[in-house]
Amino acid sequence: MDELYLRIEELEHEDWFSTFLNSVVGAFDPHTTYMAPRTKERFDQDMSGKLEGIGARLLKKGIYTEIFELVSGGPAWKQGELEAGDVILEVAQADKEPLDIVGMRLDDAIKFIKGKKGTEVRLTVKKKLDGTTRIISIIRDVVELEETFVKSTIVEKEGKKYGLINLPRFYIDFSDIDSRDSAKDMEKEIARLKSENVSGLLIDLRNNGGGSLKTAIEIAGLFITEGPVVQVKYRGQDPIVKNDENPKMQWDGAVVVLVNELSASASEIFAAAMQDYGRAVIIGGNQTYGKGTVQSVIPINNFYPKYEKDLGAIKMTIQKFYRVNGGSTQIEGVYSDIAMPNKYSYMKFGERDLTGALIWDKVPQANYTKTNSYENFSDVINKSKNRIALDEQFKLINEYAKWLKENQEDTSYSLNFKDFSKESALLEVASKKYTNAFKNETKLNFESPKYEFPLMEKDSVLADKRTAWHKNLAKDIYVAEALNVLKDLKLKNTTDTVRN
């Protein structure tokens, strides 16, 4: 409670203004929001996957600002003196007087530590290891947040190699069209996996909340020759068909797309296109999130050009998007060809459970050509469904999902402390039954593609991250089943096309 009141006391006029404005614009739909300048900066950072600063993640501990983690390859990491657990006491811009940041709110402290590429910041730091105080000079630079970007790994199964590509977000830097984005990186990653002779690709879009519509269209274009990918529509106007205009198909082999209930927006555009074209098997949760709306970010200063202070921006819903088959992904999302039980299976979750969400509707179907890439598409799906239905671990996960649903619906708590303690103890005992629900040991061995070997030799942090990722993948029951599906898919020798 003390920490809660401390945070409330730190709130400034900008915070209260943001709360007020969001209560107004939130009445339009769940995705129309006001972004204060600090929020807009974080949004741009998330979209581009990069920032200008020292490359350190900070956290607030009481009245102190502490280093939580260094970004691998960032300026602080390269400089080598700053470490996780160190406490920043003062911040100075180059040779100017240092500013005491003890007791300062974290957002304000970050504002002084971050800065333009090439500028110097001098941090007075209390070291975690020996408690000594020292001044550390760091030259700021562009920091790329690697966990935002595409990464891949290779796994061998029954004598064949398969590539898994993880795409956490459809990222792009709108201020620099020549910089890296998710489509360029995806094309590059596929080329690298092709050079290692993989037989199929598993695209992991779990927990990918979306991002750039442009890159979603371009990535879909890597798996088809050319044609419509998505339709967008303003209110009261005819739909506009957005096409992949590049006739080159970067990958013509087998594809499986792994999704869950947190795959949203641009993820749903890509998954829907792959499903409508018959280009990939969609496997994962019952359905994706169901966000079928398009937002535009409009700086408020556009309307007040003479006002010098940054007023932030409005992220406004302006369009809905539709599949090439005409249906919207709004509310419905994309239904998996193969649904696997998970903890969200019976929960109230997704766009359909948000107050004020726009309704589902449809538009005329676009003119597109199905690839019908596989000769055993239905057989593979039925085989996987039977495998899942008979699997004891999936049965336990399904039981766990039902138990979570029951607890979600039980919203009453006893105010008698003894009764409350007794109920909590019973709940804890019941939960132990599901402790091993997601613990899955496979014999799969994941390895980084060859181009990463020299990078990991130079960067032990990257090597550790990849080791941890590969270890988690080897325990992932959803990845294991998706790879079973990928292995079973057989491409047609000659492509039969169906005109729609």
Identify whether the C-beta of residue 312 lies closer than 8 Å to the C-beta of residue 42.
Answer: no
Residues annotated as part of the active site: 265, 276, 291
DSSP track, 264-326: -THHHHHHHHHHHTT-SEEEESSB-----EEEEEEEGGGT-TT--S---EEEEEEEEEE-TTS
Over 50: is that where the pLDDT of 494 sits?
Answer: no
Eight-state DSSP code of residue 365: P
Higher pLDDT, 221 or 38: 221
Tens of pLDDT, residues 128-155: 877 889 899 999 998 877 778 999 999 9
pLDDT at residue 440, as a whole number:
82
pLDDT at residue 298, as a whole number:
93
DSSP track, 289-303: ----EEEEEEEGGGT
* % of the chain with per-residue pLDDT over 90: 66
pLDDT at residue 497, as a whole number:
38
CB atoms within 10 A of CB 87: 17
CATH no. of 2-144? 2.30.42.10
Q: pTM of this prediction?
A: 0.86
Tens of pLDDT, residues 440-458: 888 899 999 999 999 999 8
Among 71-85, 102-116, 360-374, 483-497, the range scoring the smallest mean pLDDT is 483-497
Q: Which residues belong to CATH 2.30.42.10 in the chain? A: 2-144
pLDDT at residue 143, as a whole number:
84
Over 70: is that where the pLDDT of 202 sits?
Answer: yes
Q: Which residues belong to CATH 3.90.226.10 in the chain? A: 146-393+480-499
pLDDT at residue 441, as a whole number:
81
Tens of pLDDT, residues 305-337: 889 889 999 999 999 999 999 999 999 999 999
Tens of pLDDT, residues 233-276: 999 999 999 999 888 999 999 999 999 999 999 999 999 999 99
**DSSP H helical ranges for 11-74:** 13-25, 37-48
pLDDT at residue 11, as a whole number:
84
Residue 113 buriedness (CB in 10 A; 0-12 / 13-18 / 19+): buried
Report the alpha-carbon distance of residue 97 to residue 451 in Å, rounded: 45
Residue with tokens 């290891």: 129
**DSSP H helical ranges for 116-212:** 182-195
Domain 146-393+480-499 belongs to what topology?
2-enoyl-CoA Hydratase; Chain A, domain 1 (3.90.226)
